[in-house]
Amino acid sequence: MASRDEAGTAKIKVGIVGGTGYTGVELLRLLSQHPHAELRAITSRKEDGLPVADMYSNLRGVVDLKFSSPDNAKLEECDVVFFATPHGVAMAQAQALLDAGVKIIDLAADFRLQDTAVFEKWYKMPHTCPDILEESVYGLVEVNRDRIRNARVVGNPGCYPTTVVLGLAPLLEGRGSDAKPLVDVQTLIADCASGVTGAGRKAEVHILFSEASDNFKAYGVGGHRHHPEIVEQLEKLHGGPVGLTFVPHLTPMIRGMHSTLYARIQPEARDVDFQALFEKRYADEPFVDVMPAGSTPETRSVRASNMVRISVFRPNGGDQLVILVVQDNLVKGASGQAVQNMNLMFGLPENAGLGHVAVLP
Amino acid sequence: MASRDEAGTAKIKVGIVGGTGYTGVELLRLLSQHPHAELRAITSRKEDGLPVADMYSNLRGVVDLKFSSPDNAKLEECDVVFFATPHGVAMAQAQALLDAGVKIIDLAADFRLQDTAVFEKWYKMPHTCPDILEESVYGLVEVNRDRIRNARVVGNPGCYPTTVVLGLAPLLEGRGSDAKPLVDVQTLIADCASGVTGAGRKAEVHILFSEASDNFKAYGVGGHRHHPEIVEQLEKLHGGPVGLTFVPHLTPMIRGMHSTLYARIQPEARDVDFQALFEKRYADEPFVDVMPAGSTPETRSVRASNMVRISVFRPNGGDQLVILVVQDNLVKGASGQAVQNMNLMFGLPENAGLGHVAVLP
Amino acid sequence: MASRDEAGTAKIKVGIVGGTGYTGVELLRLLSQHPHAELRAITSRKEDGLPVADMYSNLRGVVDLKFSSPDNAKLEECDVVFFATPHGVAMAQAQALLDAGVKIIDLAADFRLQDTAVFEKWYKMPHTCPDILEESVYGLVEVNRDRIRNARVVGNPGCYPTTVVLGLAPLLEGRGSDAKPLVDVQTLIADCASGVTGAGRKAEVHILFSEASDNFKAYGVGGHRHHPEIVEQLEKLHGGPVGLTFVPHLTPMIRGMHSTLYARIQPEARDVDFQALFEKRYADEPFVDVMPAGSTPETRSVRASNMVRISVFRPNGGDQLVILVVQDNLVKGASGQAVQNMNLMFGLPENAGLGHVAVLP
Amino acid sequence: MASRDEAGTAKIKVGIVGGTGYTGVELLRLLSQHPHAELRAITSRKEDGLPVADMYSNLRGVVDLKFSSPDNAKLEECDVVFFATPHGVAMAQAQALLDAGVKIIDLAADFRLQDTAVFEKWYKMPHTCPDILEESVYGLVEVNRDRIRNARVVGNPGCYPTTVVLGLAPLLEGRGSDAKPLVDVQTLIADCASGVTGAGRKAEVHILFSEASDNFKAYGVGGHRHHPEIVEQLEKLHGGPVGLTFVPHLTPMIRGMHSTLYARIQPEARDVDFQALFEKRYADEPFVDVMPAGSTPETRSVRASNMVRISVFRPNGGDQLVILVVQDNLVKGASGQAVQNMNLMFGLPENAGLGHVAVLP
């Protein structure tokens, strides 16, 4: 029998595929406290039978589920299934779940890039369900809210793309076909720093404490999978080609992402009040906070919460715009945004189960 | 007019004195999400008029209060006042608040030590209200639950004492006057490690990032204020004198406390099942988790939550008992325990507003 | 009587003014192991009489000096005096020392900016010895080596400027008055991240471990003192005006600085082999390592050493050049560079006492 | 032809087996700067042909060697070979090297435990060369200096044992068969905290940055391989059985080890001046620093150096002695101590190549 929430409504039955990584445990943390959701299954072929709380001791006394083999998880009895898996897994299981009436939120890349050729280039595998891809919606709520409400399949955005697209959207969108853009869309720069959980929970030497602590470095300068994802979204907003240089860095913190975005202001736009533009754009957004002029956001101000904070600078009143964006890469950059999508897809209040205040200090 | 919770009951009106430190901001994080509490005032003479969220950006959009001067805070209109202040402040204001019918929870040391001579030795100030001290209750819920329900004044325990007393209580309490103790009470050892927030939010060189990071050291080996507090509580439980060596260490993490306790098993107690003893003692406690035999607790498993986790070891089956205890020093070790006390003092469910799942990773 | 080095030559007598900060203790670490230098005095008015090793326990058994009051330090008997002081101190004492034949290396800003108006704007004090400033040399060895050899007064570069100027110099210098520059000098960007020691050893809340750990933020976006210093140096190299956007960030590590530099390649320069350009420029530099194409430098690869490592990228072969530069902010960014300057000023091998291999991990 | 040092003496030819771990790279850092040693070969079957500096970028420009397959390394042409390998490797190659006149320093456990039964129990492999084991010397210089001078094979101590044995030796050694020990040798406790490099450079989840950062935990409470090693050494010093409880902890720092040792003072020894005892014992030791009474050592005070610092406390003048010991686990706890052994074995000054001042901050 279904569990019911305080109002007596049946709770949403939730399945998670691949719950042993960081986005998996974060989904568990968020959903175990969600007033309208009920965890029904969490799969891991390797850990079949292991109580989830034995792997993640923060869940002791909170989550009683055991990992189950995908074969036995009865995911088709869920209302929604989250894929917290490597790329390619959601593709393989999507059709069967849809046929059973189950909605899908994929935290990997299977339903992010609309251009399958680009997907195949960067993820080194063929896209096996282009028709599902076509119906899927890119789950950046602040851009695609209405489409998400009606989606059966959502591709949850990557962590870097969430910050970069939210930081540039007010500059690009809604300009119309004949209007000049506010900034030079050919010379955009995204200089980003990520906490180490962004690299996942993989047994790899370069993300050992002894390697990543007290250290800072760029990586993927020659090419990163999130680059085409960001560009595809920016081009949709702009309505034309966009040129972006993207340099991600690894910084010694557990959670948190900071993006410093650079855009050249067009001569025609020199009189624009960019602070006001951003404030207006995000005035009604529950999870986007435009900081007062002159203040800078810090990653810990959103630690363990679903908030994004943005600051807008124009140093010395010149032509270079500098946008600062912070998020928790595991929450708004992954699992929190996934829950936000779920809320929309099921007609729940968008912030249900997402009211956590950031943990500071 | 009073705010009301979902059931229509008037919320508890809360005041905080001295909210600029870490226990203050943590009270704000917990109370702003508490279903039955309403923040009415937070004082800081120095920051009078500053919005709280300007100092703590995690509270932007969550807490609208401004710091107010203590003179204007109308604390006497509150139901309860928390003191997140330096030692001595609560003493000075307690009588007036009690006269106005306000309950008091002091997170400093004014109402912890019943022996005023010991207080005066360690805190270098006279105790100005010994009669209030006498009526006050030491707010370690798992030991004093019933007395706290009826208390007007609670002395919230120190962070180290919370872990050490909870870790040793099952060995000392309820032995009766003629029973032999289970362990040698004269040679107890508490070897503890604290995250740096334990030192507070003070502008001091030794807790700078550049000093405390990538470093580990003992401190206060010759004497620490929490030593007499722990001893007083242990002696109450034991019903006689206790000898304790206490060595605190500073470890490079933000939050978290780990106590490794050593006790020599008495010859008569060699057959005791200590794992079972601990499990039984804490079976009904919502915030104490006795880990399965053989497993070790880690501080991150309680990060930002009110949980304590305890493991019991008897290496090689010998006579040395080793107890491991972890907590978040700002939650169960300070502000969370204070809210737990408030819940009891006002007849609320003990875990109201304290259901946060620990943030891991 | 003077100490002598292994070859029997009298050692250089060294004084340090203001040795209680991080650049001071780093000078002590480097100079105490320097084969041709002898520490004679280290001043601190506040710590007069305190053995240096009591403040910095790494120096126990290595440095026997006590801090002495500036009045008694007999600095005029030294061959060279380093100022590891707040801005303005070196200015006040420079003339007297020069009159006594003592050379000066200032690690503060008194002799960095040649434009006194700019100095006075950013440092909020008048420049009291413009004639000494005029004779002083900016101590970036790789740019001003020959002038430094003959200098009596060296202004040791700031940490950010060292990385930014070394990273951009090959693109700007030696182009001649009629040659087109290789990159657009009006849209340069320096996006930099610094370890927390960059903020000094000051009792300030924002650099506490509990504030700066597990956190990342930009600061000084609206204006930073190193901006005019960098611009002055770049303009000298270019021979004309330069436009630079400079965004520093604070990252949770003790030492280390990473600068990501962006420059737009001019159409005329599209065929330039930038990797070769950098390799050639720094081929003979003992402390600048141009990494192989495609590899990225990390800050720990230079920890506690005087090395700078640089990588050159041109993502997708486009028009955006990305230069990555790392250094230890306390060594090449401060005290190591100061010792490198001393070596030149006294005709010693440039790398004397600077052969430390970086500490990794 | 052999390289020669400054005095014209032929340098010691050094080989390293298994140089890809942290003790390997640390040997390289130390030996590459050693005035009397010359690196001749470093083996790694897996990385055959890879320049060492490609794996460890701190060695760029310093070490030109490539990893070579063990088969081709010509180790028998070396004067000494260090084994920085998993347990069991040195055993297999020792006889051949000894036959070729090569001395051996093993940083693994093959030549630490004299009792082969204990070795086989803890390391799960038979000991294949008990006769070489019998001639080998346990390489704790401060205890076995004279025997090391003449040794062909040295078992370099484990990191924990180095701190615990040095911290307890003055209490146990030289008491004679009829003298009472100063402390109760049956209830010794070693409560130790190690930086994460102590776990090696292995691709394992539990030592990822995202797992080990901002976290503190005990491990191996039920049994740790260093326990029998410590006990064997303590029993040799004491001349009889010893009881030790050993609880290691993992603390979020890269390097560093801190041991807090507890010993009960015997009634007969209450008048002993333990501070004086320790100072006298280590007065002539170049790498052991007994701190002034009342001060506490911190791990960063020995970071990247070969020093050990020790403090002695007797809280409230009672019967519980507390000894604090710090070291860098990769230097004095591993590679530095190995070089110290090499120096002795070849008649070099004991501190040759080990004069590094600790890196602080």
Query: How large is the average pLDDT for residues B108-131?
Result: 96
Whether C214 and B254 lie within 8 Å, measured CB to CB = yes
Whether B260 and D361 lie within 8 Å, measured CB to CB = no
D58 touches chain A (CB under 8 A): no
Q: Looking at residue C176, what is its pLDDT?
A: 65
Over residues A97-148, the pLDDT tens digits come to 999 999 999 999 999 999 999 999 999 999 999 999 999 999 999 999 999 9
Only one residue has tokens 């998020």, namely: A327
Shortest alpha-carbon distance between residue D31 and chain B (Å): 25
Closest by alpha carbon to D41, among D80, D5, D8? D80
Shortest alpha-carbon distance between residue C315 and chain A (Å): 5
Q: What 3 state SS string does chain C have?
A: CCCECCCCCECEEEEEECCCCHHHHHHHHHHHCCCCEEEEEEECCCCCCCEHHHHCHHHCCCCCCEEECHHHCCHHHCCEEEECCCCCHHHHHHHHHHHCCCEEEECCCCCCCCCHHHHHHHHCCCCCCHHHHHHCEECCHHHHHHHHHCCCEEECCCHHHHHHHHHHHHHHCCCCCCCCCCECCCCEEEEEEECHHHHCCCCCHHHEHHHHCCCCEECCCCCCCHHHHHHHHHHHHHCCCCCEEEEEEECCCCCCEEEEEEEEECHHHCCCCHHHHHHHHCCCCCCEEECCCCCCCEHHHHCCCCCEEEEEECHHHCCEEEEEEEECCCHHHHHHHHHHHHHHHCCCCCCCCCCCCCCCC
Q: What are the Cα distances from residue D263, in Å, to C3, C220, D97, D167, D240?
A: 46, 53, 43, 11, 16
pLDDT tier for residue D174 given thresholds of 50, 70 and 90: confident
Domain D160-329, what fold? Answer: Dihydrodipicolinate Reductase; domain 2 (3.30.360)
> Other CB atoms closer than 10 Å to residue D77's CB: what's the count?
13
Whether B361 and A29 lie within 8 Å, measured CB to CB = no
Residue D160 has pLDDT above 60, yes or no: yes
B324 touches chain A (CB under 8 A): no
Residue D190 has pLDDT above 90, yes or no: yes
Question: Who among C6, C57, C359 is closest to D304 (CB)?
Answer: C359
Shortest alpha-carbon distance between residue D217 and chain B (Å): 5
Average pLDDT, chain A: 96
What superfamily would CATH give domain D12-135?
NAD(P)-binding Rossmann-like Domain (3.40.50.720)
D214 touches chain C (CB under 8 A): yes
Q: Looking at residue C6, what is its pLDDT?
A: 82
Over residues C164-193, the pLDDT tens digits come to 999 999 999 977 666 778 999 999 999 999
Q: Looking at residue A194, what is its pLDDT?
A: 98
Q: For chain C, which residues score pLDDT lower than 70?
A: 1-2, 176-178
Whether D260 and B249 lie within 8 Å, measured CB to CB = yes
A360 touches chain D (CB under 8 A): no
Pick among B186, B221, B302 to test the D interface (most D CBs inside 10 A): B221
Shortest alpha-carbon distance between residue A47 and chain B (Å): 18
Shortest alpha-carbon distance between residue C255 and chain B (Å): 8
Shortest alpha-carbon distance between residue A37 and chain C (Å): 31
Residue D5 has pLDDT above 90, yes or no: no
Whether B359 and A303 lie within 8 Å, measured CB to CB = yes
Over residues B39-91, the pLDDT tens digits come to 999 999 899 999 999 999 999 999 999 999 988 889 999 999 999 999 999 99
Pick among B60, B207, B303 to test the A interface (most A CBs inside 10 A): B60
Cβ neighbours for D248, distance < 8 A, ≥ 6 positions apart: D160, D192, D193, D194, D218, D219, D220, D224, D226
B214 touches chain C (CB under 8 A): yes
What are chain B's partners, defined as 3 or more CB pairs within 8 angstroms? A, C, D
Which residues from chain C sit within 8 angstroms of residue B212, using beta carbons? 209
Token code pair at residue A190: 């995204």
Cβ pair D321, D262 in contact under 8 A: yes
Nearest-CA residue of chain C relative to B56? C211
Whether A301 and B255 lie within 8 Å, measured CB to CB = no
Question: Who among A187, A216, A296 is closest to C217 (CB)?
Answer: A296
Which residues from chain C sit within 8 angstroms of residue A298, using beta carbons? 215-217
B267 touches chain D (CB under 8 A): no
Whether D207 and A209 lie within 8 Å, measured CB to CB = yes
B346 touches chain D (CB under 8 A): no
Average pLDDT, chain C: 96
Residue B178 has pLDDT above 70, yes or no: no
Q: Looking at residue D205, what is its pLDDT?
A: 96
Share above pLDDT 70 across residues of chain C, in percent, rounded to a whole number: 99
Over residues D224-257, the pLDDT tens digits come to 999 999 999 999 999 999 999 999 999 999 999 9
Rg, Å, chain C Cα set: 20
D241 touches chain A (CB under 8 A): no
Residue B1 has pLDDT above 60, yes or no: no
Task: Write down the ipTM of this complex.
Answer: 0.96
DSSP bridge pairs for B14: B39, B80
What are chain A's partners, defined as 3 or more CB pairs within 8 angstroms? B, C, D
Q: Looking at residue C2, what is its pLDDT?
A: 63
Cβ pair D340, D286 in contact under 8 A: no
Domain range list for chain B: 12-135, 160-329
Question: Who among A199, A214, A253 is closest to D254 (CB)?
Answer: A214
Whether A358 and B58 lie within 8 Å, measured CB to CB = yes
Residue A351 has pLDDT above 80, yes or no: yes
Q: Looking at residue D1, what is its pLDDT?
A: 52
Over residues C293-342, the pLDDT tens digits come to 999 999 999 999 999 999 999 999 999 999 999 999 999 999 999 999 99
Over residues D17-69, the pLDDT tens digits come to 998 999 999 999 999 999 999 999 999 999 999 999 999 999 999 999 999 99
Rg, Å, chain A Cα set: 20
Question: Who among D214, D289, D304 is closest to C214 (CB)?
Answer: D214
Q: Looking at residue D177, what is its pLDDT?
A: 60
